[in-house]
Structure 1
Amino acid sequence: MAAAHSSNAENKIVRVDISSDTVCPWCFVGKKNLDKAIAASNEKYNFELRWHPFQLDSNAPKEGIDKKEYYIRKFGSRSEQMAARMSEVFRNVGLEYSMSGLTGSTMDSHRLIYFAGQQGLDKQHALVEELCLGYFTKGKYIGDQNFLLECAAKVGVEGAEDFLKNPNNGLKEVEDELRTYSSNIGGVPYYVINGNHKLSGAQPPEVFLRAFEVATS
């Protein structure tokens, strides 16, 4: 996995602000492509990646709902075709897409991502990877606190259990970020590079590479 930053003081800084939702499969594909672009240019740039919340469905149930059932309710007859398409897209980035398990509210995952970011951007970036791997490929429920804590432990986030136990911890900060980063965009993933170069959608690595060049020229 690409690190959130490199450490050559002479390199140009590339800051990437990423708006995403943890149940958005295109956001995970975009992350994998971004990681490839970073790995290919890590000797040229110092990267600072910051993840910001977006909610595709702010009313999704906290207790969870069967993923297949949810997509049928939301997309009707198109849901099977969409799942087949995502399976193909995931295979192209070396992953197996799973429609098993539950989906639901992503607020706790966004609170945890915010909390991880307070302990370092590398931890935050690594946490997003673990959350997405579990949800999209292993049938884990994004609203399950045990799953969230497993992911936090894997990437070394300290104090996650006490933090998540109180539903108000990080809530204001996430809501502030939703207003700041998500209120003016129509969908995710959405990237702002060095404050002004904007990209939307799961772009291929070469598009990110060109954007890095433009943003630092």
Structure 2
Amino acid sequence: MAGIKKKLVEIDIIADTVCPWCFVGKRNLDKALVEGNDRYEFELRWHPFQIDPEVPKEGIYKKEFYDTKMGADVAEVFQTRMADIFSNHDMTYKIEGLTGNTIESHRLIYFAGLQDHDKQHDLVDEICLGYFTDGRFIGDRDYLLKCAEKIEIEGAAEFLDDPNNGLTEVKEELKKYSEVKGIPYFVINGKEEFAGAQPTEVFLAAFEAATK
């Protein structure tokens, strides 16, 4: 309604770009952002987490990775469940392709946040969408740069060219958030905190509680 000032909602998201639950959680959050747009002004910030920092940068096949981490039977059940959940979000979950170390994606996301947090949010979506639904490799520099170009992140290639750019900042945040109890992890206005790919209603309730 005209004349009603929107309440500020600051959202900090701790996540890894190869975590399917993180992507699902983001999509649920996006629905809440749309539903709450008439009441709230949102500021979003993404922070890095690494599920497995020891995964090689050159990559490993996703199926091999999950089979090793979970055991083949558990991994198969997990993949089936994720396929169903992605389908409910009108997406196709693919196990094909490589997974790998996510540090480069986190450096790029950090860089995007220096320019614009809305672009940072969109960049996360673009990176994850290709990784989970098209089998794109998270460690492929060209792929990351294509994502940055689509979101209109300026200077991304030059930034990634120097492997030290943003590395200290990302590592500091990785250390800061290493003890969170599960990812994705959401902090709303520094008051409401919760983990997991929660449904849209949980976000809306958190927005209301955090702005009282």
TM-score, structure 1 normalization: 0.94
User: For the aligned residues, what is the CA RMSD?
Assistant: 1.1
Q: Please list the CA deviations of residues 20-49 of structure 1 after superposition, one character each: whole Å capped at 9, or x if unmatched.
A: 000000000000000000100101000001
Whole-angstrom CA distance in 2 between matches of 1:183 and 1:137: 27
After TM superposition, list the pairs within 5 Å mapping 1:5-154 onto structure 2.
10-76=5-71, 77-154=73-150
- Size of the aligned set, in residue pairs, is 209
Structure-1 residue corresponding to 2:179: 184
Q: Which amino acid aligns with 2:82?
A: M
Moved over 6 A (4+): none
Q: Which amino acid aligns with 2:196?
A: G
Q: Which amino acid aligns with 1:39?
A: V
Q: Please list the CA deviations of residues 57-107 of structure 1 after superposition, one character each: whole Å capped at 9, or x if unmatched.
A: 011110001111111111112111100000001111111101011001000
Q: Please list the CA deviations of residues 172-198 of structure 1 after superposition, one character each: whole Å capped at 9, or x if unmatched.
A: 010111122x12213200000001210
CA 1:173–1:9 in structure 2 vs 1: closer, same or farther (change >3 Å)?
A: farther
Aligned-pair identity in percent equals: 58
Whole-angstrom CA distance in 2 between matches of 1:57 and 1:93: 26
Whole-angstrom CA distance in 2 between matches of 1:183 and 1:87: 28
Are 1:173 and 2:169 an aligned pair?
yes
Are 1:197 and 2:192 an aligned pair?
yes
Secondary structure of the structure 1 residue equivalent to 2:12: strand
Task: Give the unaligned 5+ runs of structure 1.
Answer: 1-7
Secondary structure of the structure 1 residue equivalent to 2:190: coil
Structure-2 residue corresponding to 1:210: 205
Whole-angstrom CA distance in 2 between matches of 1:29 and 1:142: 17
Whole-angstrom CA distance in 2 between matches of 1:28 and 1:88: 14
